[in-house]
Structure 1
Amino acid sequence: MLNIMNNKKRMFCCALMGVVFQAQAEVLVILPESGPMARAAESIKLGIVKAHEASKANIPLKFVNTDQKNISDVLKKNVTKSTNLIIGPLARQEVESLIQTNPKIPVLALNEVASKNFNVLQYSLSKDQDTSALLNVMKKDGVNRIYVIREKGTEAESLTFVNALFKKFPEEVQVVDAVPNLKSKDGLLLLGSNTWLNQFKKLPTKHIYAQAISVEQQKPLPKGLKFCDVPALYLEKWQDVAQVHRENPTTMPYKRLYAFGADAWFIAEQFVLNPAVKDIKFNGRTGQITIIGNQIYRVPQCYEQKRKGLSAL
């Protein structure tokens, strides 16, 4: 009889702890619901919600619109004793503003800025990370000179990528207007749309590279082309991202944000469930994610277009 009573007490305590956990473990998501960044924010939100639905942790979510609002005021009004973590904001200037508030609870900011704060993790789909991954591919290929051709009128879209290339590539980089005669250790980087890419009549089949913006669903790529991108767009294992896309069909840039939002939730969940965690490493929807201290490092997956389709490198 005593054992039965003790078991009932234990069951009651466990149930009570579950109620307390739910009450104390709310995650606040601060994203714009209107304005110029609303569409991107909505895609991220859909990714967060889908990954949250698939989770078994049952952590409450609270969404707050940040458009045309002061971040400090948003935090003062919405952060309560039950708020264990904040996801967002998205705009760089808002991340800067949040850091200046010196938050007392963990924050997973969805952009990267120069300012740092111990409680603020900064996570993004950085072009710098994409460049680093592609440069590693070039290094393995033995490339020591890169020729760059950019589609006219789209230079702004690849500017960050090109700047990172000039900064990180240790050898020679030349911007040209036409495909040169390539030597054995030369590489060709094509920066532009998929339509523009496929207008080239003759391209080498080795040492040719592109940015992920050149990739579109069900559109061809030149044989031998190599690029680095979010793996959830190419691997069927990430069914949550695929489901969001089926329910809300969109273009590749916004589909990448579905994956971004889902990985953001996974990261946030780890810190809510285990506040003492310091180091995390996992193969995520947006690439290999490593968290050391309060730094997040992302390595996207790289691919090569072969005769029978894409092959992971």
Structure 2
Amino acid sequence: MLNNKKFLIGFLLYCIFNHAQAEVLVILPESEPMARAGLSIKQGFMSAYQASDSKTPIKFVNSDKKKISLLLKQNINKKTQMVVGPLARQDVEAVIKVQPKVRVLALNEVSSQFANVSQFSLSKQDDAVALNQVLQDDKIKELYVLQQKDSDIDNELFLISLLTQTDYPLNLIEEAPKKLNKHTGLLLLGNNAWLNQLTKLPHKNIYILPNAIEQDQILPVGGKFCDAPALYGSEWPDVTQATQPNTVSMAYQRLIAFGGDAWHIASQYLAEPNLKSMQFQGRTGLVQISHNQIRRIPHCFENTKKGIRVL
């Protein structure tokens, strides 16, 4: 009987020790061409991780110029409780082909699916869903679309996503109209410099994308957009800390916020491995998890004469 008790105590201590030593493997690019993106996500991830006071060890590995199947084989061991990453789409496809036994939170979205691989991203489809809701609230029945020259490829996925949700015309135009009727909107697709070259824009029913927003640069009055809320408020001090000084471009600020939400999702899976559904107000928007599917709904804003307000 005594030996059985000793065995049981020893077994429990072994389980506790190994659980405490369980680690999260994070796969991100650390060298060109995606090094800056990878570093920004890492900053956000670690800032949120440190703010959470978690004791789970984090192990980072560089995915650049490495075969993902070999990288997983070399780095996943008995202590690996979860994998976060990779970032590049082709690497996410490669992870799905491996069909890993450990849970993976991939940081991009592809069409392929596998039960153990959840996919989280700053997708343009999510941006389109959020902006379409704003268009519906504004009772838009027709939308003019003005694109910056040579930006078609950048905007193609967003436009396709928006088209699948609307039942009214989207008309491509060559010049911005000076006036719009009550139920007509103007979607401007281009960067901030291009946007500020446009003159005499209407002050109502103007819509833009997040890539047109730059630190300390002006936006059209009345322009509406949907973006990561952490860039426009103070509710997430970990993001504010990670983006100091304010010279960090908005594109990388979004990735820092994205990294923070990636840690929050990972922490929920660590706490509850069989998690089926949950939602939380994250740094990049409302994040919803349902049966391994992750959906992100950005918050929407309007630029007014007094500054940016939440819609």
Task: Give TM-score, length-normalised by structure 1.
Answer: 0.92
Shift of residue 161, structure 1, vs aligned partner: 1.7
Contact kept, 8 Å, 2:18 with 2:79, in 1: the verdict is no
Distance in 1 of aligned mates of 2:18 and 2:80: 13
Matches within 5 A, 1:66-81: 66-81=63-78
SS in 2 for 1:33: coil
C-alpha offsets along residues 53-75 of structure 1, whole Å, 9 cap, x if unaligned?
Answer: 11122111001111111111111
Which runs of at least 4 in structure 1 moved beyond 6 Å after TM superposition? 13-17
Which letter maps to 1:297? R
Question: What runs of 5+ residues in structure 2 fail to find an aligned partner?
Answer: 1-8
C-alpha offsets along residues 239-281 of structure 1, whole Å, 9 cap, x if unaligned?
Answer: 1111111168421111100000110011001111221321111
Matches within 5 A, 1:169-180: 169-180=166-177
Give the number of aligned pairs: 302
Matches within 5 A, 1:1-313: 19-23=17-21, 25-180=22-177, 181-246=179-244, 249-313=247-311
Which letter maps to 1:280? M
Q: Which residue of 2 aligns with 1:6?
A: none
Shift of residue 18, structure 1, vs aligned partner: 5.7
Contact kept, 8 Å, 2:144 with 2:186, in 1: the verdict is yes
Q: 1:220 to 1:249 in 2, by over 3 A?
A: closer
Distance in 2 of aligned mates of 1:137 and 1:54: 33
Question: What runs of 5+ residues in structure 1 fail to find an aligned partner?
Answer: 1-9
Compute the RMSD of aligned alpha carbons: 2.0
Distance in 2 of aligned mates of 1:17 and 1:113: 36
Distance in 2 of aligned mates of 1:227 and 1:15: 53
C-alpha offsets along residues 192-227 of structure 1, whole Å, 9 cap, x if unaligned?
Answer: 121221222212121110001111122111111100
Which letter maps to 2:155? S
Q: Which moved more, 1:109-118 or 1:13-22?
A: 13-22
Distance in 1 of aligned mates of 2:229 and 2:13: 39
Contact kept, 8 Å, 2:28 with 2:61, in 1: the verdict is yes
Q: 1:14 to 1:201 in 2, by over 3 A?
A: farther
SS in 2 for 1:246: coil
Distance in 1 of aligned mates of 2:246 and 2:135: 36
Shift of residue 17, structure 1, vs aligned partner: 6.8
Q: Which moved more, 1:36-45 or 1:137-146?
A: 36-45
Distance in 1 of aligned mates of 2:12 and 2:43: 32
Distance in 1 of aligned mates of 2:196 and 2:144: 18
Distance in 2 of aligned mates of 1:36 and 1:169: 36
SS in 2 for 1:304: strand
Shift of residue 157, structure 1, vs aligned partner: 2.5
Which letter maps to 1:32? P
Q: Which moved more, 1:155-164 or 1:264-273?
A: 155-164
Shift of residue 14, structure 1, vs aligned partner: 10
Q: Which residue of 2 aligns with 1:4?
A: none
Which letter maps to 2:203? T
Distance in 1 of aligned mates of 2:226 and 2:247: 22
Distance in 2 of aligned mates of 1:251 and 1:111: 21
Contact kept, 8 Å, 2:210 with 2:225, in 1: the verdict is yes
Percent identical among aligned pairs is 47
